[in-house]
Amino acid sequence: MGCGIWREDTFRQYSRRMGRTVGKNGSLAGDMSNQEMFTARTIDPMLDPRDVMRECCDNEEHPATIPVILALDVTGSMGQAAVEVAKQLNIIMTKLYEKVKDVEFMVMGIGDLAYDRCPLQVSQFESDIRIAEQLDKVYFEFGGGGNAFESYTAAWYFGVEHVQLDAWKRGKKGIIITMGDEGLNPYLPGERLAEITGRPQNGDVETVQLYPKVLEKYDVYHIYVDHRNGRNESFIRTWKELMDDEHFRVVKIDAIADMIIRIVTARAAEDKRAGKVMIAAKQEEISW
């Protein structure tokens, strides 16, 4: 997985087959509800997280992959935010490929392990139109519960325990971007997590213990979507207890695409600078 290059003409052809129109600016045109955009009524077998290992491998087309896990909250309140990501996907990928040739995306659907039937969905890492194809397969359960959080850290857990990245062999991290409008969950219920992933658990997975583990392998971001009648400061505080302002971002729905682009391009620029420093250091050693 992960071969291929994102092309706008391919996206336009795919969109026509799906009965959608792409505007001149590259985004999907028209007002679409989440039910119209996400038509799946149960989890697709391709997105089932049970007993799977996802890989992001370097290849001839992408020799220095930048793996990005984009985890979307698919509970009831977040439908239109996910629609915005789907509508802007072509713009996101086109702008990224102008600067970041080796980006690979995994799309996740995140619900609530305590309440939902399908609280975790995971695609393959892809770099071409298959990103759109897999995003279209995401099941919007419209679930969640009354506990003031969703199971966002399931993305962290899966990224640590069920993913292999060639980037790690090069001393680089992946990127995890979760997106939602509720507080940070304090734990993942172990019994339910074992049920959906197939991996036995010794008790619940506490967020404060999982966070340092995921930071060893990923740059971790959360996009808090401010789309209600004022943002919930109590929810925001739960995230800021762990994350600084660089990694916790508050945005409006219409700014989600730009934020994703900014996060990934900033990381690519950082890698480029680090590469130049390394080359300069080697040249200096040779000169001696």
Does any domain span residue 81?
yes
**Residue 35: inside a domain:** no
- Is 117 a domain residue? yes
Q: Which segment of 140-149, 171-180, 245-254, 273-282 scores lowest on mean pLDDT?
A: 273-282
Q: Is the pTM of this model over 0.75?
A: yes
pLDDT in tens, 82-116: 899 999 999 999 999 999 989 999 999 999 999 99
Is position 3 within any domain?
no
Kindly indicate the confidence band of residue 79, based on its pLDDT and cuts at 50, 70 and 90: confident
Is residue 159 one of the residues assigned to a domain? yes
Better-scored residue on pLDDT, 42 or 232 = 42
Q: Is residue 1 part of a domain?
A: no
Torsion angle, alpha carbons of 119, 74, 208, 240, to 10:
-170
Please state which of the ranges 29-33, 236-240, 245-249 shows the lowest mean pLDDT. 29-33
> What is the pLDDT at residue 174?
98
What pLDDT score does 147 carry? 87
Beta carbons within 8 Å of 188's beta carbon, 6+ residues apart: 113, 151, 153, 154, 157, 204, 205, 207, 210
Could you tell me if 161 and 53 are in contact, meaning their C-beta atoms sit under 8 angstroms apart? no
Q: Averaged over 232-241, what is the pLDDT? A: 94
pLDDT of residue 280: 53
Task: Output the CA torsion sign for 13, 14, 18, 20.
Answer: negative
E strand intervals along 30-157: 54-56, 66-73, 103-110, 120-122
Average pLDDT, the chain: 92
Is 285's pLDDT higher than 70? no
Q: Let me know if residue 203 belongs to a domain.
A: yes
Mean pLDDT along residues 209-221: 98
Would 179 be classed as within a structural domain? yes
Yes or no: say if 271 and 279 are a contact pair by the CB < 8 Å rule. Answer: no
Predicted pLDDT of residue 276: 63
Q: Is 21 helix (H, G, I), strand (E, B) or coil?
A: coil
pLDDT in tens, 108-131: 999 999 999 999 999 999 999 999
pLDDT category of residue 283 using cuts at 50, 70 and 90 = low
Q: Which amino acid is at 59?
A: N
Residue 146 is which amino acid?
A: G
**Domain range holding 129?**
8-29+40-287
What's the total number of domains in the chain? Answer: 1
For residue 179, give the CATH number of its domain.
3.40.50.410
| d(C-alpha 159, C-alpha 166), whole Å | 13
SS3 label, residue 283 = helix
